[in-house]
């Protein structure tokens, strides 16, 4: 069985061992739809049989943009004593494409906790470090 690709978008794909594979790296922001024909041909010397199928490839988006914060430095002043879970600061980020959820974290902090979905930073209970 021999396979071939036909059509304007066929040069973006290749056959490798009977598998259809991408010949380029796709970027949905540049182009998200490709159409072409796959033709299969079988020949035994005397008889040739062939068939074709239309292929439509939709490129899905992957968020390849890093989050960008509104400020480079955030600061807050607290008058003590501070009760546990008192909101200290809320920082925000801007995404070029808001298709994915941004998660926030503070590495190894015994004094503060961050809500990993909202970005709100709160005071922790000092008696129970985690």
With a pLDDT cut of 90, the percent of the chain lying above it is: 22
The confidence score (pLDDT) of residue 34 equals: 95
The confidence score (pLDDT) of residue 78 equals: 78
* pTM confidence score: 0.49
Specify the CATH number of the domain 63-130. 2.60.40.60
Structure tokens at 67: 């989050």
Q: CB-based burial of residue 119 (10 Å sphere; 0-12 exposed, 13-18 middle, 19+ buried)?
A: middle
- Domain assignments of the chain as residue spans, ordered by start: 2-58, 63-130
Share the mean pLDDT of the chain: 80
The confidence score (pLDDT) of residue 129 equals: 46
């Amino acid at each position: 069985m021999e396979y071939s690709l036909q059509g304007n978008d066929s040069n973006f794909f290749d056959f490798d061992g009977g598998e259809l594979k991408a010949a380029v790296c796709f970027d949905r922001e540049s182009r998200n739809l490709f159409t072409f024909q796959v033709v299969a041909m079988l020949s035994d010397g005397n008889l040739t049989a062939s068939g074709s199928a239309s292929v439509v490839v939709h490129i899905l988006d992957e968020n390849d943009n890093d989050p960008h914060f509104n400020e480079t430095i955030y600061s807050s002043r607290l008058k003590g004593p501070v009760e546990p879970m008192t909101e200290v600061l809320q920082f925000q980020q801007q995404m070029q494409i808001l298709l994915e959820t941004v998660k926030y974290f503070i590495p190894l902090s015994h004094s503060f906790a961050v809500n990993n979905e909202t970005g709100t930073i709160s005071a922790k209970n000092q008696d129970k470090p985690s």
